[in-house]
Amino acid sequence: MILDTETFKSDFKRKLITMYRQSVDTAGDTLKYMALGSLMMDYMSGAWHETETRYQSECRKRVYYFSLEFLIGRLMDSALINLGIRDVVYEGLKELGTDLKLLEDIEPDAGLGNGGLGRLAACFIDSMASLGIAGTGIGIRYRFGLFEQQIKNGYQIESPDNWLKIANVWETRRDDEACMVKFGGTPMLHWGDDGRLYVELKDYEPILAVPYDMPVPGFRNGTVNTLRLWSAETDGPGFDFAMFSKGDHEKAIESTNSVNAITNVLYPDDSTERGKLLRLKQEYFFTSAGLQSILKGLKREGFPLSRLHERVAVHINDTHPALAVPELMRLLIDEEGMGWDSAWNVTVNTIGYTNHTILAEALEKWNVPMFKKLLPRIYMIVEEINRRFTGELSRRYNGDWGKLASMSIIQDGVVKMAYLAIVGSHSVNGVAELHTEILKNQELRSFNEFYPDRFNNKTNGISHRRWLMQANPELTALINESIGCGWQKEPERLSELGRFTQDGAFLEKLRAVKLEKKRQLSSYIHERLGIDVDPSSLFDIQVKRLHMYKRQLLNILHVMYLYNKICDDPKAEIQPRTFLFGAKAFPGYQLAKNTIKLICTVADRVNTDPAVKGRIKVVFIPNYGVSIAEKMIPAGDLSEQISTASKEASGTGNMKFMMNGAVTIATMDGANVEIHREVGDDNIIIFGMSSDEVIGYQNNGGYSACEMLGKDARLSRIIGQMKEGYFAAAPANEFELIIKHLTDDNDPYFTLRDFDSYVKAQEKVSGLYTDKVSWSRMSAVNIARSGVFSSDNTIKRYASEIWHV
Ligand code: 26V
């Protein structure tokens, strides 16, 4: 986009007047932020409209990425960068006496996701727009996103994330595109005069689905795609008017609340029946609304739905939108009059599915009675899909009942959503090579045997625009100065940095950039938490959701070990380190919350003990999310990717750190395996059990955590200290849950088992870090090799191999 400072300034001043009747001198920062956002929307509107018109006139095949989560974070900076007007706007505002950074900080962080899966969806829509692919994101406009986390006395306190407290400048409500989603009711079957069976749902509960569209600008390519988020509303007054008139106001309003509840909050706690029901409602709600609007668009164009798969690819991000399979069947059969076989052909060829985890507790299963009651017609269709599928199995395996029973979509009173997704898609992919192999050879082996061409790998990626250009303008400038700007459009060209890895002057500048990012993070920590950290110490960072398989526990056990070492030998030579953590724990996940408490307890002791003399510091940064990640990741020297091998499907934080020049300490898990292959043995520190060993132990036993404890004095000492309340501030039984997990439960994630190997790997890190030049060389190699992990690369593969666009 072409824009000069003067034009911008006059546009901005006019905007403040038309929106708020204020001048630059009278308006506060919030109004200025809103006006700037609205102006950006004006700037994008032409290209947004033009993009849609162009897709239509070119009859382009469209990709719809269905995801229950889009962790998009703030949008102002990325819109400014993608439109190429960041500098002009910065200068213009400066001349008007306003700091762009201050305005950007007013934008709420849209946290409509839990972690990696949701952030991946956000990086993917960014890449689709930047590659000019006609891709639309379909999701839910949650009234409240992922909870906000505060830490009080070491405990996680959750509060609602009211991200819409100031109006969302980026969205446009599309009342014209609203549609109806039907819950409950009774399916009535009757034969029509044409000899066909018709199904009509009677006495259902109608819920109005209203879409809100947000722009997704591509990187300087004139493309603006759409993220469409659906909101649930009542049709009409939304409450029982008769009841209201009779004076029973509260009861009348209650029904409105239950409708709004559908899109009220991200991932309700699904440990209760009510939570589960709400979750299933959310999943059907947005899947149905999304599919209805796709079909409506095609019908408007007069495109024959029997060829839907030629014009549309529907991608389902995990099983959350897996009801797309029976819902598309329902729409094609019940509403469009198609026969089963052609509807099935269209459905399977339209839908692709990505699996994001092998953890059994995360695989979705719905109780049949609940499913049937909420979605009676959809349940009938799932039964029919299963009847036909098990029929095929029976023919192929000569009536082998064991096979049938183990692969059936409906099993032991539950509907297995992963199986439904596999049967109803033409492509099933894992998110890293190792993960895909485990799916094919272990978890989903029989499905891979039955559908050998269906399974494939698509290693995850990250948007280098957000995670490098936006989060780290200092490093971006250094890269531009060294190899030019070509890498911005072709991230693989970061490899051109390879020729600087022996260049002393370049490495020195790289160290200066890292130090600057560490200083910036240190001031943030000082301002927010009142803790002083030393930017020249090694910044060792682990940021991700808190889960036992991710093993934040292993990290903090290592810190406790170092602390003991210092206490035993106050003069011990220890490479100064700052251990930084950021993690939210699922509100009902006590063991994870207990781990946060342990980290904070150790932090208190270590940070206040004068004997430590500042050699080690531990900081838990609260409320980790996209915006805080943008501050922390560029400051990392060491990236902690230490999950139990086989458990982390891919990881994407690993790629973000690598791209910002951190060196990784890792197990051979998820995409770490591919990072290792890219950078080679000398530029990553690998430790711990392999996934084969882990799986072997899981299948055949043979591991005894207590034996391990008995053998390792360092560990038994630490466990003893935890028991006796040594780390102060906490009562003696505070860490009971963790101790039980490690001993009575036999350390299911092999934390104790990998401890020794981890300590040795950390000693290697400390040794390497003392040589600043060779460390920065490793850092440079990591940046240079990170281009393959751009989500542009990933999306190109989805486009050619799955979506055929
Ligand atoms: C969800 C839950 C929810 C209930 C408690 C246990 C539990 C455990 C794991 C999960 C993860 C669900 C799927 C998911 O978010 N997977 C993540 O997807 C990322 C993007 O592909 C990937 O990088 C991460 O490795 C993977 O964990």
Residue with the larger pLDDT of the pair 728 and 114 = 114
Q: How far away, in angstroms, is 64 Cα from ligand 1 center?
A: 21
Number of H helices, E strands in the chain: 34, 25
Please provide the size of the chain in residues: 805
Q: Got the DSSP string for 557-623?
A: HHHHHHHHHHHH-TT-----EEEEEE-PPPTT-HHHHHHHHHHHHHHHHHHH-GGGTTSEEEEE-SS
Of 117, 320, 647, the residue with max ligand 1 atoms within 8 A of its CB, to mutate for a pocket test, comes to: 117
pLDDT per residue as tens digits for the range 652-701: 999 999 999 999 999 999 999 999 999 999 999 999 999 999 999 999 99
Residue 209: its H or E element: strand 205-217
In the prediction, which pLDDT does 751 show?
A: 98
In the prediction, which pLDDT does 248 show?
A: 66
Pairing verdict, β 186-191 and 179-183 = unpaired
Residue with the larger pLDDT of the pair 261 and 429 = 429
Q: How far away, in angstroms, is 542 Cα from ligand 1 center?
A: 17
Residue 146 — very low, low, confident or very high, per pLDDT cuts 50/70/90?
Answer: very high
Please tell me if the CB atom of residue 650 comes closer than 6 angstroms to any atom of ligand 1.
Answer: yes
* Mean pLDDT score of the chain: 95
pLDDT per residue as tens digits for the range 550-608: 999 999 999 999 999 999 999 998 999 999 999 999 998 999 999 999 999 999 999 99
Residue 80 — very low, low, confident or very high, per pLDDT cuts 50/70/90?
Answer: very high
Of 112-121, 231-240, 447-456, where does mean pLDDT reach its minimum?
231-240
Percent over 70 (pLDDT), the chain: 96
Of 68, 269, 357, the residue with max ligand 1 atoms within 8 A of its CB, to mutate for a pocket test, comes to: 357
Residue 556: its H or E element: helix 552-568
Residues 357 and 108: beta-carbon distance below 8 Å: no
In the prediction, which pLDDT does 220 show?
A: 97
Residue 410 — very low, low, confident or very high, per pLDDT cuts 50/70/90?
Answer: very high
* Residue among 276, 545, 593, 785 flagged as catalytic: 545
d(CA 38, CA 215): 12
Please tell me if the CB atom of residue 317 comes closer than 6 angstroms to any atom of ligand 1.
Answer: no
Atom 6 (ligand 1): residue with closest C-alpha?
362
Q: Is 13 a catalytic residue?
A: no
Please tell me if the CB atom of residue 360 comes closer than 6 angstroms to any atom of ligand 1.
Answer: no
Q: Is 550 a catalytic residue?
A: yes
Which segments of 604-681 are extended strands (E)? 616-620, 638-641, 663-666
* Residue among 141, 518, 656, 753 flagged as catalytic: 656
Residue 237 — very low, low, confident or very high, per pLDDT cuts 50/70/90?
Answer: low
Average pLDDT of span 515-539? 98
* Residue among 465, 544, 558, 647 flagged as catalytic: 544
Residue 101: its H or E element: helix 100-104
Average pLDDT of span 482-492? 98
Beta bridge partners of 543: 582
Q: How far away, in angstroms, is 397 Cα from ligand 1 center?
A: 33
Of 364-373, 701-710, 719-728, where does mean pLDDT reach its minimum?
719-728
Flag whether pLDDT at 250 surpasses 90.
Answer: no
Of 272, 356, 458, the residue with max ligand 1 atoms within 8 A of its CB, to mutate for a pocket test, comes to: 356
Please tell me if the CB atom of residue 588 comes closer than 6 angstroms to any atom of ligand 1.
Answer: no
d(CA 561, CA 711): 15
Q: How far away, in angstroms, is 352 Cα from ligand 1 center?
A: 19
Atom 9 (ligand 1): residue with closest C-alpha?
362
Beta bridge partners of 578: 539, 617
Q: In which residue are the tokens 């130090």 written?
A: 515
Please tell me if the CB atom of residue 149 comes closer than 6 angstroms to any atom of ligand 1.
Answer: no
Q: How far away, in angstroms, is 247 Cα from ligand 1 center?
A: 48
Q: Is 593 a catalytic residue?
A: no
d(CA 237, CA 348): 40
d(CA 350, CA 305): 11
Residue 269 — very low, low, confident or very high, per pLDDT cuts 50/70/90?
Answer: low
In the prediction, which pLDDT does 236 show?
A: 62
| Ligand 1 atom nearest to 652, measured from its CA | 23
Residue 200: its H or E element: strand 197-202
Q: How far away, in angstroms, is 357 Cα from ligand 1 center?
A: 6
Atom 15 (ligand 1): residue with closest C-alpha?
117
Average pLDDT of span 741-764? 98
d(CA 153, CA 593): 12
Flag whether pLDDT at 501 surpasses 70.
Answer: yes
d(CA 101, CA 108): 14
Q: How far away, in angstroms, is 131 Cα from ligand 1 center?
A: 27
Please tell me if the CB atom of residue 431 comes closer than 6 angstroms to any atom of ligand 1.
Answer: yes
Residue 351: partners with Cβ closer than 8 Å, 6 or more residues away: 314, 315, 316, 324, 325, 328, 424, 425, 426
Instruction: Please write down the HEC assignment for all residues of 764-788.
Output: HHHHHHHCHHHHHHHHHHHHHCHHH
Atom 3 (ligand 1): residue with closest C-alpha?
362
Atom 5 (ligand 1): residue with closest C-alpha?
362
Flag whether pLDDT at 26 surpasses 70.
Answer: yes
Average pLDDT of span 145-158? 96
Average pLDDT of span 12-25? 98
Q: How far away, in angstroms, is 560 Cα from ligand 1 center?
A: 28
Beta bridge partners of 649: none
Residue 270 — very low, low, confident or very high, per pLDDT cuts 50/70/90?
Answer: low
Flag whether pLDDT at 239 surpasses 60.
Answer: no
Phi and psi torsions of 84, nearest 5°: 75, 30
| Ligand 1 atom nearest to 547, measured from its CA | 8
**Which tokens is 15 given?**
């905007």
Is this prediction's pTM over 0.85? Answer: yes
Q: In which residue are the tokens 């946060």 written?
A: 596
Please tell me if the CB atom of residue 123 comes closer than 6 angstroms to any atom of ligand 1.
Answer: no
Q: Is 571 a catalytic residue?
A: no
d(CA 409, CA 418): 8
Q: Is 656 a catalytic residue?
A: yes
Flag whether pLDDT at 244 surpasses 60.
Answer: no
Please tell me if the CB atom of residue 652 comes closer than 6 angstroms to any atom of ligand 1.
Answer: yes
pLDDT per residue as tens digits for the range 81-104: 999 999 999 999 999 999 999 999
Of 359, 545, 641, 643, the residue with max ligand 1 atoms within 8 A of its CB, to mutate for a pocket test, comes to: 359
Please tell me if the CB atom of residue 672 comes closer than 6 angstroms to any atom of ligand 1.
Answer: no
Average pLDDT of span 299-309? 96
Beta bridge partners of 364: none
Q: Got the DSSP string for 447-502?
A: HHHHSTTTEEE----B-HIIIIIIT-HHHHHHHHHHH-SHHHHSGGGGGGGGGGTT
| Sign of the torsion formed by the C-alpha atoms of 415, 418, 422 and 425 | positive
Residue 730 — very low, low, confident or very high, per pLDDT cuts 50/70/90?
Answer: low
pLDDT per residue as tens digits for the range 604-646: 999 999 999 989 999 999 999 999 999 999 999 999 999 999 9
Please tell me if the CB atom of residue 649 comes closer than 6 angstroms to any atom of ligand 1.
Answer: yes
Q: How far away, in angstroms, is 389 Cα from ligand 1 center?
A: 28
Percent over 90 (pLDDT), the chain: 91
Q: How far away, in angstroms, is 557 Cα from ligand 1 center?
A: 24
